[in-house]
Amino acid sequence: MVCNEIMDPIKIMGVLVMVHGVGVLIRGPSGVGKTLAALNLMRRGHSLISDDLVEVTPGPSGEPLGRPVEEEVRIEVRGLGIFAARTLFLQAVVPSSRIDFVVDLDSYDHSRDAGRMVPETGSLCLFGHDLLTVRVPLPTGVDPALPIELLAWRFKQSGTVRP
């Protein structure tokens, strides 16, 4: 497959966070825990760039850079409402970040995920750059921030998420 090199800005449904200095785009179906992951990561001192919709543009070397679509970053907490992110965690919002890899949150499926020992990975091409994608199956009740934090740390240390 040829990587698309069109340089027009695009919008991606998801959440962009910076974890351990690594830009992580979190995707997944509605209700899977993208915003909950962002809130828990912010609480742990990591940064939110955008919730729900991320505008992605090419950086100076063509690398994907994400930023919020609106100037005021808002975050929706299901059942509680929409909040200005800075009112929840003042220092936890930054205006933009490169996107280093993608986490695809998914519901845990016992027939597919039982016994898995290595992350299920793939790639996403943005502006001529192949980004690593990692599927993260979440059992009910699991904090989605923890596996994301571990993956970002691993990526920062070694450039990969595989053990």
Q: What is the pLDDT of residues 12-52, one digit of tens each?
A: 999 999 999 999 999 999 889 999 999 999 999 999 999 99
Residue 140, pLDDT score: 85
Give the separation between CA 17 and CA 5, rounded to whole angstroms.
24
Kindly state whether residue 90 falls inside one of the protein's structural domains.
yes
Tokens describing residue 111: 């027939």
Task: Work out the percent of the chain whose per-residue pLDDT is above 70.
Answer: 96
Q: Domain count of the chain?
A: 1
Domain range for 52 is 10-158
Q: What is the mean pLDDT of residues 45-73?
A: 94
Q: For the segment 132-162, what is each residue's pLDDT rounded down to a tens digit?
A: 999 999 988 889 999 999 999 999 999 887 7
Q: Is 144 helix (H, G, I), strand (E, B) or coil?
A: coil
Residue 4, pLDDT score: 57
Kindly state whether residue 103 falls inside one of the protein's structural domains.
yes
Q: What is the mean pLDDT of residues 55-70?
A: 93
Kindly state whether residue 81 falls inside one of the protein's structural domains.
yes
Q: What is the CATH number of the domain that holds 85?
A: 3.40.50.300
Kindly state whether residue 4 falls inside one of the protein's structural domains.
no
Is the full-model pTM beyond 0.85?
A: yes
Task: Give, in order, the Cα–Cα distances in Å from 146 to each of 82, 136, 149.
Answer: 24, 11, 5
Kindly state whether residue 118 falls inside one of the protein's structural domains.
yes
